[in-house]
Amino acid sequence: MDWKILGRNDRLYVTQFEEETNLRAMVVCDASRSMAWTGSPETVLPKLAYAQRLIAALSLVLLRQRDATGLITFDDDVRTVLPPRARLSHWRQLLATLGALEAGMGTAAEPALRRVVNQLRRRGLVVFVSDLLLDRDLALKALRFLRHRGHQVLVLHLMDPGEVLLGGPVEARFEDPETRAAVVLRPRDWAAPYRDTVRAVVREWKLACRRHGIAYHRVTTDTPYGVVLREALAPSSRTA
Amino acid sequence: MIGFLHPWALAGLAAAAIPLLLHLLARREPPTVVFPAVRYLITTTREHQRRLKLQHLLLLLFRTALIVALVLSAAGPTLPRRGVAGHAPSALVLVVDNSPSSGVVVAGTSRLSQIQAAARQVLARATPDDALWLLAADGVPRRGDRQALLDQVGTLPLSSRRLDLGAALGLAGEILAGEARPGEIALLTDLQASAVSPAELHVPLVVGRPDGPPPPNVGIARLETGPQPWSADGGRLTVSLVGDSGAGTPVTARLGTRPPRQALARVGGGAVLVMPGVPPGWWDADAELDPDELRLDDRRVGVVRVAAVARVNWDSASRFVAAACEVLESNRRIARGSEVTLGRLARGSSIVQPPEDPAALGALNRALASRGVTWRYGSPLIEPATTDSGALLGRVRVFRRYQLQTAQSGRTGVLATVNGAPWLVRSADVVLLGSRLEPAWTDLPVSAGFMPFMDALVNRLARGEVSLADGAPGDPVALPDLVSEVRQGERDWHVEGGGVFRPGEPGAYYLVAGDDTVGAITANIDPRESLLAPATDAQARRLWKDARLVSLDEVADAVFSGAARGDLRGPLLWLALVLALAETALASLWRRQAR
């Protein structure tokens, strides 16, 4: 109610207005060797390529809202840091950075997440895009720290369909591209237990994130980007 | 101890290594696949490794055990098992004693019926996998399945042939020697002591014998008709008895259709019955006892030849021949005349001795040839030898002789031999002696057999007749060369002279050459069959090592349980089926879980 108009001419008026607050967002992108893998090269993008496109779309949405958006990429160390800017022209810089991004070696998320603190002085949004094939305790510790500093934290857990359902030859030696750890087994025998393990891992991440007010989304790389953005940027989703 | 019917099949056990080999071959270096989520795989394997290993080990065990079970069942394993209904496939020779003694009637039932009932019970325990033979008194092994042998046992007649139990067991052992299956002999018998003889056995033997003692029995052991031919004045029949009773037993004797004569006889002794004269010809004679529990030995047959005695012209210069002829003449076995000339070749029937002077031999041979005689005298032999024992002549020493040679192929007309060489032959109506009937040539003139020999020589051989032969049913009887046919009543058999004839049933069999009856065979059961006393178990065990003796009622239980072995093929095949089902069920279950 506009009480001033009511006092002057005894008429009821409802005044509408818009208030815009500028959000500062930092996207933290995992560029480790595991992110360069795809189980079906002909039909499914590697996780890193999917992440590049997803981050590009996300940052465009944020910048169009005049939210300042920055980018940090890492593998076994922080690779690039692009401070958040609200100008739309900043998106081209983001694209250039993402375009130049190549898969590195190992995965060390904790230093990259701690670098976010330097970039976001005020409360903001942290989007962590990774396949989460990393040290879970360290990563959770860093995410909790960000949450403790008042940031909204959104974890996008990228998974290739080939990682969800185990397949391959009758018997194979499965080798980790980062650690070179290997295991020999028959996928036919191990598909079900593996599926259960993946479910358990996802459940554990989900529970751990929920416990600390962190939004968590598992994203398979054959999911359309729009679906992911709609779910990830919904207000209910961003507040765990 | 486990045994195997087809041990060679055990080589298939090597196939049990196939699952293990496939497993090892599958363990070759697999291709490497880059996979970022190896940490999930490591977590998974850490949690499920033991379970999956156990599953794989179980499947490997099931598959190996399945192959082992199939191979073992193919090898036909057997296990000793007593007192069980089933048994492993076995080879069984069932010896059924249907000899004459088994015809004895005890408590209204013949012994053979009891033996047949026991045989049926034994055969009822047989399975289609068993190899079965039936061996009876005829000595012919019959192979057949259970039903076929049951039919044969049911129709098995009382045989008139004696069954030597030792020989039968030996034959049964030979039958089983070629069998891969475990063999066994079941002997169902009255266990007559006179039929028991040693046998070397390599297979288990079960003897089923009656429990109770046999009834006392008396039978006719011999019926002697005396020197042949009889004159028209008649002759004497001598009947000898055998058996258990010492009391006098009435004996009835008949000759042809003449009224019977009776006399009392005792076991171990004989009765002589004077029979009335009958016209010339061949006559059936028989002696009979009053019926007792064993009927088959209560009657015995014989044959009597009735003919006028030979009219003989003999040389008085030949001392031993003349003396013998004078004795025969005084006993009215011969008469003086010209029907038969003894000592030299003459018109009519002649019995020729070799001449004392070797220079006369050529003329004699020429005279023989001109008479159409196919035999001639050859070179002289001066060496001690012995005549071969035969129906006409026993073993007599011969010091000098001439070889007798024939122009024809074969040895037609040979009546007696020395070391296998002809010594007494006949061709047409001429009989040739290889030696002179003098002590310098042969012992015959100074032996006890000389008179019967001379009697037969002039009364039968010179007339073209042959001796009477006696034998048991089924025994081979040598036939003279000239015989072409054997007749018994309305039946007749065409035979080959020089061969053998086996009379099937007791009775008189006449030997026919052309249109003439030249001899006869009398077939009667073996007198030992009249001795019903059984052998003791100890005697039987002494003769047949490890024999198991049971009563006829228990023999069916003893046969397959004593030596039989349990067949493990059935349980093994069931085990294989269970293993196959378990393997299939577990593999599919675990595969479904793994998806």
Concatenated DSSP letters of B412-437: TTEEEEETTEEEEEEETTEEEESS-S
**CATH number of A205's domain:** 3.40.50.410
Q: Place A169 in a pLDDT band, splitting at 50, 70 and 90.
A: confident
Please write the tens of the pLDDT for every residue from B457-472.
Answer: 888 888 777 667 788 8
Closest CA of chain A from B75, distance in Å: 37
Mean pLDDT of the residues in chain A:
87
Q: Does residue B229 have a cis peptide bond before it, meaning omega lies within 30 degrees of 0?
A: yes
Closest CA of chain B from A158, distance in Å: 12
Please tell me the pTM assigned to this model. Answer: 0.54
Question: H-helix or E-strand containing B563?
Answer: helix B555-563
Select from B412, B418, B413 the least CA-distant residue to B394: B418
| B36/A196 touch (CB, cutoff 8 Å), yes or no | no
A105 touches chain B (CB under 8 A): no
Q: Which residues in chain A are contacts of B52 at CB distance < 8 A?
A: 189-190
A107 touches chain B (CB under 8 A): no
One DSSP character per residue, B195-221 reads G------SS-EEEEE-SSPPPP-EEEE
The span from the CA of B525 to the CA of B503, in Å, is 11
A198 touches chain B (CB under 8 A): yes
Residue with tokens 């490794």: B49
* Chain A stretch 136-165, residues whose beta carbon is closer than 8 A to a beta carbon of chain B: 160, 163
Q: Is residue A16 part of a domain?
A: no
Backbone φ and ψ of B269, nearest 5°: -115, -165
Select from B470, B469, B468, B472 the least CA-distant residue to B530: B472
Strand order of the sheet with strand B485-488?
B468-471, B516-523, B507-513, B485-488, B491-494
Q: Is residue A14 part of a domain?
A: no
Select from B317, B323, B381 the least CA-distant residue to B344: B317
DSSP assigned state of B457: I
Closest CA of chain B from A109, distance in Å: 16
Predicted confidence at residue A20, as pLDDT, reads 63
The span from the CA of A179 to the CA of A134, in Å, is 11
Residue with tokens 């590009």: A56
Q: Is residue A2 part of a domain?
A: no
Q: Is residue A75 part of a domain?
A: yes
Closest CA of chain A from B570, distance in Å: 36
Q: Place A235 in a pLDDT band, splitting at 50, 70 and 90.
A: low
| B41/A166 touch (CB, cutoff 8 Å), yes or no | yes
Cβ(B209)–Cβ(B534) below 8 Å? yes
| A179/B38 touch (CB, cutoff 8 Å), yes or no | yes
pLDDT digit string (tens) for chain B, length 595 residues: 677 777 788 888 888 888 788 877 766 778 888 998 888 888 888 877 788 788 888 888 998 899 999 988 888 887 766 544 567 678 999 999 999 999 999 888 899 999 999 999 999 988 888 899 999 998 899 999 999 999 999 999 999 898 999 999 999 999 998 888 888 999 999 999 999 999 988 888 999 999 888 888 999 999 988 877 887 788 889 999 998 867 788 999 999 888 899 999 888 878 899 988 888 889 999 999 988 888 888 999 999 988 888 899 988 888 899 999 999 999 888 999 988 999 888 888 999 999 988 899 999 999 999 988 889 999 999 999 998 877 678 889 999 999 999 877 656 778 889 988 999 998 878 999 999 999 999 999 999 889 989 988 888 888 777 667 788 888 888 887 778 899 998 899 998 877 888 888 899 999 998 888 888 999 999 989 999 999 999 999 899 988 889 999 888 888 876 555 667 888 889 999 999 999 899 888 877 776 6
User: How many CA atoms within 13 Å lie on the side-chain side of A161?
Assistant: 8
Question: H-helix or E-strand containing A217?
Answer: strand A215-220
Helix (H, G, I), strand (E, B) or coil at A1: coil
Q: Is residue A192 part of a domain?
A: yes
The span from the CA of B321 to the CA of B442, in Å, is 13
Select from A137, A82, A134 the least CA-distant residue to A105: A134
Across B523-553, b (16+ Cβ under 10 Å) vs e yields bbbbbbbbbbebbeeeebbebbeebbbbebe
β-partners of residue A11 are none
The span from the CA of B549 to the CA of B191, in Å, is 10
Predicted confidence at residue B410, as pLDDT, reads 59
In CATH terms, the superfamily for domain B91-214+532-567 is von Willebrand factor, type A domain (3.40.50.410)
| A201/B595 touch (CB, cutoff 8 Å), yes or no | no
Predicted confidence at residue B300, as pLDDT, reads 93
One DSSP character per residue, B473-529 reads TT--EEPPTT--EEEETTEEEE--TTSEE---SSEEEEEEETTEEEEEEEE---GGG
One DSSP character per residue, B255-271 reads ETTSPPEEEEE-BTSEE
CATH 2.60.40.10 fits B218-307+467-528, yes or no: yes
Select from A63, A110, A108, A105 the least CA-distant residue to A82: A63
Structure tokens at B499: 């061969």
Q: Is residue A9 part of a domain?
A: no
Instruction: Count other Cβ atoms within 10 Å, centred on residue A230.
Output: 11
Strand order of the sheet with strand A182-185?
A182-185, A172-175, B32-34
Please list the residue range(s) of chain B that carry CATH number 2.60.40.10: 218-307+467-528
Please write the tens of the pLDDT for every residue from A180-222.
Answer: 888 888 888 888 889 999 999 999 999 999 999 999 999 999 9
Instruction: Count other Cβ atoms within 10 Å, centred on residue B121.
Output: 18
Instruction: Count other Cβ atoms within 10 Å, centred on residue B220.
Output: 27
Q: Place A77 in a pLDDT band, splitting at 50, 70 and 90.
A: confident
Number of domains in chain A: 1
| B38/A188 touch (CB, cutoff 8 Å), yes or no | no
Residue B578 burial (C-beta neighbours within 10 Å; 0-12, 13-18, 19+)? middle
Q: How many residues does chain A have?
A: 240
Instruction: Count other Cβ atoms within 10 Å, centred on residue B130.
Output: 20
The span from the CA of B59 to the CA of B22, in Å, is 13
Angle at which helices B146-154 and B111-124 cross, to 10°: 170
| A176/B35 touch (CB, cutoff 8 Å), yes or no | yes
Predicted confidence at residue A109, as pLDDT, reads 77
Say which of B29, B38, B595 has its CB closest to residue A183. B38
Q: Is residue A13 part of a domain?
A: no
Taking CA–CA distances from A132, the nearest residue in chain B reads: B37
Distant-in-sequence, close-in-space partners of A125: CB < 8 Å, separation ≥ 6: A23, A24, A25, A26, A62, A67, A151, A152, A153, A154, A238
One DSSP character per residue, A61-112 reads HHHHTT-EEEEEEESSSEEEEEEEE-STTHHHHHHHHHHT----SS--HHHH
Across B199-209, b (16+ Cβ under 10 Å) vs e yields bebebbbbbbb
Range A54-61 average pLDDT:
93
Distant-in-sequence, close-in-space partners of B191: CB < 8 Å, separation ≥ 6: B165, B207, B209, B210, B534, B535, B540
Predicted confidence at residue A146, as pLDDT, reads 87
Cβ(B101)–Cβ(B529) below 8 Å? yes
CB pairs under 8 A between A and B: 93
Closest CA of chain A from B558, distance in Å: 58
Cβ(B298)–Cβ(B530) below 8 Å? no
Select from A183, A44, A57 the least CA-distant residue to B44: A183
* Chain B stretch 19-48, residues whose beta carbon is closer than 8 A to a beta carbon of chain A: 26, 29-45, 47-48
Architecture of domain B310-456: 3-Layer(aba) Sandwich (3.40)
Helix (H, G, I), strand (E, B) or coil at B254: strand
Say which of B29, B33, B594 has its CB closest to residue A174. B33
Q: Is residue A32 part of a domain?
A: yes
Cβ(A128)–Cβ(A113) below 8 Å? yes
Please write the tens of the pLDDT for every residue from A116-163.
Answer: 777 777 888 999 999 998 888 888 988 898 888 888 899 999 999 999
Q: What's at B406, amino acid-wise?
A: T
For chain B, the helix, strand and coil percentages under 3-state DSSP, each to the nearest 5: 30, 30, 35
Predicted confidence at residue A240, as pLDDT, reads 44
Predicted confidence at residue B209, as pLDDT, reads 92
| B31/A194 touch (CB, cutoff 8 Å), yes or no | no
Across B83-108, b (16+ Cβ under 10 Å) vs e yields eeeebbbbbbbbbbbbbbbbbbebee
The span from the CA of B572 to the CA of A230, in Å, is 67
Residue B459 burial (C-beta neighbours within 10 Å; 0-12, 13-18, 19+)? buried
Helix (H, G, I), strand (E, B) or coil at B237: strand
What range does the domain containing A85 cover? 22-238
